[in-house]
Structure 1
Amino acid sequence: MQLRFAVFALFMGSFVLVAEAAEISQFRGSRGDGISVGTQPPVEFSELKNLSWKTQIPGKGWSSPVIADGKLWLTTAIEVFPDESEREKLLLEAGDEPRKFHEKQIAKSITLKLVTVNLSSGKLDEMIDLVHIEKPDSIHRMNSYASPTPFIDGKHIYCHFGTYGTFCIDRNSLSIIWKNQIPQNHSVGPGSSPFIYKNLLILICDGVDKQYVTALDKMTGESVWKTDRPEMDAPDGNRKKSFDTPIYVKDRLGREQLICMGSQWVVAYEPETGKEIWKVLHGKGFSVVPRPVVGNGMVYISTGFGKAQLWAIRIDGTGDVSETHVAWVVKRNIPTQPSPLLLDDRLYVMGDTGIATCFDAIDGTTVWAKRVGGNYVASPLFANGKIYFANQEGIVKVIEPNDKYKEVASNQISGQIKASPVAIENAIILRTEQNLYRFEVDDTSAKKNISIEN
């Protein structure tokens, strides 16, 4: 098997590079932190430059693609839309308040699918039906019914759609091995991506109605453990919901930790049992989206909606360490949706409204801040010595990571970008609301194959 890049083993924030096959297994890459090792995507690209292929993806979804078997795997929702009078009726039946109708979208029905695209040619190969839902709940107009990113493990791929179901699919036969439905009220739609630890599929289930973390047997879908979140001080369930994705770390004491960010609390659990190791009360933050990153003996979290803050927390504690293990807190220009990017002792964040900031990861001081413009949901990518920031206007800013802001390229493509970009080999993969792109450095431009699949 040809070897392409490396992953790491965390130990109090340090990492060791080990070889791994050319695949991307989860949200934010196989490392789970937005860092792509050994890849060389282009710095400059557009619809006319360094474009290898462009493929239309039916339906709508903001899940990021994962890669294995020479294919891109991603989820989508085929929606049947109501007219305006039907829309208002469906929203009322779903329990939405008329004053919030402008924030919501709703479908008459949805069919959730797993899509495969050939990595080399861009050909849309397969569309696997997973489940059909009549009268789904309403979701936020910025969300989709297929936002969680799948997880590749062994010969299987795991697709999660929140309350609409969790699926284990054999990647060879494309058959559904098992499915499980864990009902919950997301209020604004699903968002948490699944995570695999050994033989367990970990899901954060922080809905309006109930909040907990659970582990399923990855071979059967049966429940192994379930741990309720700490008690919250909130006026209603909307301030308790969250949409985060777990991260795994082994601390300096040798303890394995599954760190699960949520509203008001961030908690580290024993992966095998779900038992709490430590927890920190971070305030009133809710609807948390950014996936934490770990390094320097700390976990770095964004506290979500309300007034977003960036916290650095030492991970070697036990019990409630809210008063003892918070290293620093920053309260300005912190994203509520894009995840942070940690490169050694520098932490890079992109605010929702286009303010990029570099922090000293050890003490939290600001190294630089720059308004670059645009609106951001996608998390940043580090590849080939550069940082890629992709915004909703279809612009990808490329900067050099150092102690002064240095932009090296600004690339425009068609359509919104909300899915986080990924790098593979000498290419960058971008998903917009309609298309999937592969841009790569290739001197043989005559080989270009622009594929539009309907």
Structure 2
Amino acid sequence: MAGDPHELLADDWMQWRGPLGNNIAQSGQNVLTEWDERTNVIWQAEVPGRGHSSPIVVGELIVLTSADEQSQQQGVFGFDRATGARKWGTVISQGGFPKTHQKNTHASSTACSDGRHIYATFCHHEKVEAVALDLKGNVIWKNIVGGFAPRQYEYGYAASPTLYSGKLIVSGDSDTVAWVKALDTETGRIVWQQDRPRKLNWSSPIVAQTGGRKQLLLSGLNMISSYDPQTGQPLWSQPCLTMATCGTVVWDDQVVYASGGYPDKETVAVSADGRGGILWKNSVKCYEQSMLIHDGHLYAVDDGGVAYCWEARSGTEKWKYRLRGPVSASPVLVGDVIIAPNESGTTYVFRANPNRFEAIAQNQLGTESFATPTVVDSKIYLRVAAGQGDARRETLFAIGTR
């Protein structure tokens, strides 16, 4: 099977932000919009350790990364898609955990898959390590991709890898070393690499079809950058945004959209061909979250829990509506339904309606939700937590009908 998510199975969710990397679920799904711990739960499974990575769905397998902070073990775990039973868990590394922000974890990067292998990245001993596993959890290869040693703000690592044409693309931006690299998925060998400005950033790279070609896009470091995903050669960069962003860019056929961050606040639209410059910008900050684009409109939920809708090409604000924050997870679009969790385990469900904010439901599951939901086959997979300290437990829920 080709190692390009654009060519993968339509009913799987094999990378951060789904089949096309834009957090839009495949069409034709009919998800339930109301749930709690006793309502519309197909199954629930305890997740060992702590992590903010999203579940990926690979055939009959659901895969998560997680980390045990006491033993300093990072690992990959496979669950049965139908029952939630844990099928395997593989420890990838032990020791060398860096300092992190209190809201980050040592397993915040979402895994990806080409249908044959699972690929994951972890940061330890001031390095980013990539690993490939088979679908039974056996390690195929491991490789140190590059250094990651932030000094000004030691907030940990968060970028998720992506796949393109037999290459695993990984980034690591810090104020001591910064890079984006591609590894051969069969061997783990580095096939291309590009240095980046040494500044702090946490966004994930993504391959998009925009501006008339495939582009590897990455926001942050006071710009949006575009690379040829096949060779790593820079295509263009547009000065904009701020130093640090965490969200992943979104796009249509001609425009790339991004938001952040620190120290400044900006949401921006830039030409996807590298020649048209900045098309519009405003001062809204979606720092942790990625946005959604649908039917010519840009939808977002900012750090404080304010939902926005803008006309995508002009930046005209159509509406904004205050939900409850803070928010770290990114909203997901299923048909015309947006699913948006906040950090307290409340998930807001509302319509992607450019004319007005149209609430559908408000659901509570657990007391902590940082992982972005996954939606496959009309089922919603939510990673949440409840409890404090030693009593804290993470759970993966499957929401839907049996």
| 2:203 equivalent in structure 1 | 244
SS for the counterpart of 1:363 is coil
Moved over 6 A (4+): none
Distance in 1 between residues matched to 2:90 and 2:210, nearest whole Å: 40
Does 2:165 align with 1:198?
yes
**How many Å separate the matches in 2 of 1:118 and 1:308?**
41
Does the Cα contact within 8 Å between 1:296 and 1:362 map onto a contact in 2?
Answer: no
Equivalents in 1 of 2:211, 2:190: separation in Å? 30
Residues 34-61 of structure 1, C-alpha deviations (whole Å, 9 max, x = no match)? 1102322211111121111121111001
2:61 is aligned to 71
| Partner residue of 2:382 out of 412, 430, 435 | 430
State the shift of 1:287 in Å: 2.7
1:415: Cα distance to partner?
A: 2.5
Which deviates further from its counterpart, 195-204 or 300-309?
A: 300-309
Distance 1:115 1:155, change over 3 A: same
AA aligned to 1:66 is I
Secondary structure, in 3 states, of the residue corresponding to 2:34?
Answer: coil
Q: Deviations over 1:210-229 (max 9, x none)?
A: 11211111111111111122
Partner of 2:237: 279
Q: Indicate the residue corresponding to 2:19 in structure 1.
A: 30
Name the counterpart of 2:77. Answer: 115
Residue 178 (structure 1) aligned with residue 127 (structure 2)? no
Per-residue deviation, 1:175: 1.6
Paired with 1:165 and 1:418, the residues of 2 have a C-alpha distance of 23
Kindly report the root-mean-square deviation, in angstroms, between the aligned alpha carbons of the 2 structures.
1.8
Which of 181, 186, 190 is the matching residue for 1:214? 181
- 1:151-181 Cα shifts (integer Å, max 9, x gaps): 1113100011133521011114x22111112
Map Cα deviations across residues 10-69 of structure 1 (whole Å, 9 max, x no partner): xxxxxxxx9934211101111211110232221111112111112111100110000113
1:61 matched residue in structure 2: 51
Whether the 8 Å contact between 2:148 and 2:176 is mirrored in structure 1 is yes
Alignment match of 1:303 (pick from 257, 260, 267): 260
1:327 aligns with 2:279: yes
Give 1:201 deviation, angstroms.
Answer: 1.1
The one-letter code sitting in structure 1 at the alignment partner of 2:187 is: T
Equivalences, count = 382
Counterparts of 1:360-399 in structure 2 under 5 Å?
A: 360-399=311-350
Structure 1: runs of 5+ lacking an equivalent? 1-6, 10-17, 81-108, 232-236, 443-454
Instruction: Specify which structure has the higher proportion of helix.
Output: 1
Query: Does the Cα contact within 8 Å between 2:5 and 2:15 map onto a contact in 1?
Result: no
The one-character-per-residue Cα deviations of 1:193-218 (angstroms, maximum 9, x if unpaired) are: 00111021111110221112111111
Amino acid in the other structure paired with 1:158: Y
Using the alignment, how far apart are the partners of 2:8 and 2:226 within structure 1? 28
Once the two structures are superposed, residues 128-150 of structure 1 have per-residue CA deviations (whole angstroms, 9 ceiling, x without a partner) of 111112x4221111000000000
Look at both structures and tell me which one has the larger radius of gyration over its CA atoms.
1
Confirm or deny: 8 A CA contact 1:282 1:303 kept in the other structure: no
1:405 corresponds to: 357
Q: Verify: 1:316 aligned to 2:273, yes or no.
A: yes
Q: Which has the higher contact order (CA 8 A, sep 6+)?
A: 1
Tell me the TM-score normalised to structure 1 length.
0.81
Q: Does the 8 Å CA contact 2:51/2:107 hold for their aligned counterparts?
A: yes
Residue of structure 1 in register with 2:195 after alignment:
228
Given that 2:260 and 2:288 are in contact with CA atoms closer than 8 Å, whether structure 1 keeps it comes out as no
Pairwise CA distance, 1:385? 2.5
Paired residues of 1:41 and 1:424 also in contact (CA < 8 A): no
Does the aligned pair in 2 maintain the 1:217–1:224 contact within 8 Å? yes
Q: Which residue of structure 2 aligns with residue 268 of structure 1? A: 226
TM-score with structure 2 setting the length: 0.91
- Distance 1:428-1:136 versus aligned 2 partners, 3 A rule: same
Q: 3-state SS of the aligned residue for 1:140?
A: coil
Structure 1 Cα separation of the partners of residues 225 and 85 of structure 2: 42
CA distance in structure 1 between the partners assigned to 2:8 and 2:248 by the alignment: 24
Separation in 2 of the partners of 1:416 and 1:404? 29
Secondary structure of 1:36's aligned partner: coil
Given the alignment of the two structures, is residue 130 of structure 1 paired with residue 92 of structure 2, yes or no?
yes
> CA separation of 1:425/1:250 partners in 2, compared to 1, >3 Å: closer, same or farther?
closer
SS in 1 for 2:147: coil
Amino acid at match of 2:202: F
CA 337–350 in structure 1, closer or farther in 2 if over 3 Å, else same? same
Q: 1:62 to 1:8 in 2, by over 3 A?
A: closer
Deviation of the 1:8 alpha carbon: 9.6
Q: Distance in 1 between matches of 2:5 and 2:175?
A: 35
SS across alignment from 2:13: coil
The percent of aligned pairs where both chains have the same amino acid is 29
Structure 2's unaligned 5+ residue stretches are 386-393
CA distance in 2, matches of 1:73, 1:251: 29
